[in-house]
Structure 1
Amino acid sequence: MDDLCLRMLDRFQHDLPICAEPYQAIAEELGCSEEDIFQRLEQLNQRQALSRVGPIFDHSVAGASTLVALAVPEARIEQVAAQINALDEVNHNYLREHDWNLWFVLTGPNRAHLDQTLIHIQQQTGLTPLDLPMLTAYQINLGFALGKDSQVPS
C-alpha cells in the first residue's frame, strides 16, 4: 500500500465529501487525480481489503433497524446466507462460531416493515430469527490511525 492509499484511507474514514463529485473532492484534497483515487480503491477492492465506500446513516432518523441471528445447520450455511444476502433490507451479514451462527442487520423504513421481513425470512428458510432490536446507542469512533500524520480523531 503506497503513501497516497494510506493518506486516502486515513483521511476519509470519516467525513466523506457529500457533493456531486466526491472522488474529485478527495483527489483535490490529497493533491492527486481522481483516476489515482479510483485506482487505489480498485486495488483495495481486488485485495478484498475494502468492503464498502459510503455513508452510515443513523437508523433512528433514516428508518428502523435490528440485529438478527439465525441458528443455521452447517450443511445449509451457504444456501441460507445467499437467501439472506438477496434481501434489500440486509447488510452486515456475518458467520459466527455459535449455535446462533448467522448474524445480520435488517434495515427498513419502519418497524412494521422489519417485522414483515422477519416473517418472510422464517417462511423462506424455515428458521426462526432471533430479533435483537437496539435499546441504546453507544457512539464509538470506529477509525484507525494509519501513519504518523494521522487525521483520525483519538
Structure 2
Amino acid sequence: MDAIDRNIVNGLQGGFPLCPRPFAVAAQALKLDEEELITRLTRMVAEDVLSRFGPLYHSERLGGAMTLAAMAVPEADFDRVCAIVNNFPEVSQNYERDHTLNMWFVVSAERPERVGQVLDQIAQLTGLTVHDMPKRREFFIDLKLEA
C-alpha cells in the first residue's frame, strides 16, 4: 500500500456516501478522481490487501443470523484451513490470533439455520472442531483501523 491507498482505507472507514454517484463523492473528499478510487479499491481487493469492499448489513434485523467462531488450527495446516473457511461467502472476517484458538471468523447468513450449516461444513471439510460463540448482548464500538 502506498500513501494514497492508506488515505483511502483510513478515509472510507466510518461511512460511504449514499447517493447516485457515491464513488465520485468519496473520491472528491479524498482529493482523487472517481476512476482512480474505483481502480485502487478494485486492485486492493484483488490483491487481498482488503478482504472485501462493500456494505455491512445487520443480518439479524433482516431476518438472518450471525456468529463468531473459533478453531484451533495446527500451524502447518493453517493456510489450507484458511482457504476453506474463506471460500464460504458467509464468512466476512477471518483473523489469525496468538492463542490456542488461533483462527477466529464471523459467519453471517440470510437464514438463521444457514449459520449452523456453514459451521458444520467447515468442520467436515477441515476435520477440526469449530467453536460457535453467538453473541448474547450487542455493543457498538466505532472501531477504525489505521492503515
When structure 1 is superposed on structure 2, of 13-22 and 99-108 the one drifting more is 13-22
What's the secondary structure of 1:23's corresponding residue? helix
Residues 121 and 94 (structure 1), Cα distance of their counterparts in 2 relative to 1, 3 Å cut? same
Residues 121 and 37 (structure 1), Cα distance of their counterparts in 2 relative to 1, 3 Å cut? closer
Give CA deviations for 1:21-62 in whole Å, capped at 9, x if unaligned: 311122345565213433654686699764543222223213
Q: Which residue of 2 aligns with 1:12?
A: 12
Q: Which residue of 1 aligns with 2:56?
A: 56
Within 1, Cα distance between the matches of 2:118 and 2:92? 13
1:30-109 alignment, distance < 5 Å:
32-38=32-38, 41=41, 50-62=50-62, 63-109=64-110
Q: Which residue of 1 aligns with 2:21?
A: 21
Aligned residue pair count: 144
What TM-score do you get using the length of structure 2 for normalisation? 0.77
Q: Which runs of 5+ in 2 are unaligned?
A: none
Within 2, Cα distance between the matches of 1:27 and 1:43? 16
Letter of the 1:123 counterpart: Q
Report how far residue 97 of structure 1 moved: 1.4
Letter of the 2:13 counterpart: Q
What TM-score do you get using the length of structure 1 for normalisation? 0.74
Q: Which residue of 2 aligns with 1:151?
A: none
Within 2, Cα distance between the matches of 1:129 and 1:144? 27
| Higher gyration radius (CA) | 1
* Runs of 4+ more than 6 Å apart: 42-48
Residues 26 and 90 (structure 1), Cα distance of their counterparts in 2 relative to 1, 3 Å cut? same
Question: Is residue 71–residue 100 contact of structure 1 (8 Å, CA) maintained in 2?
Answer: yes
Query: Alpha carbon RMSD of aligned pairs, Å?
Result: 3.0
Q: Which residue of 1 aligns with 2:117?
A: 116
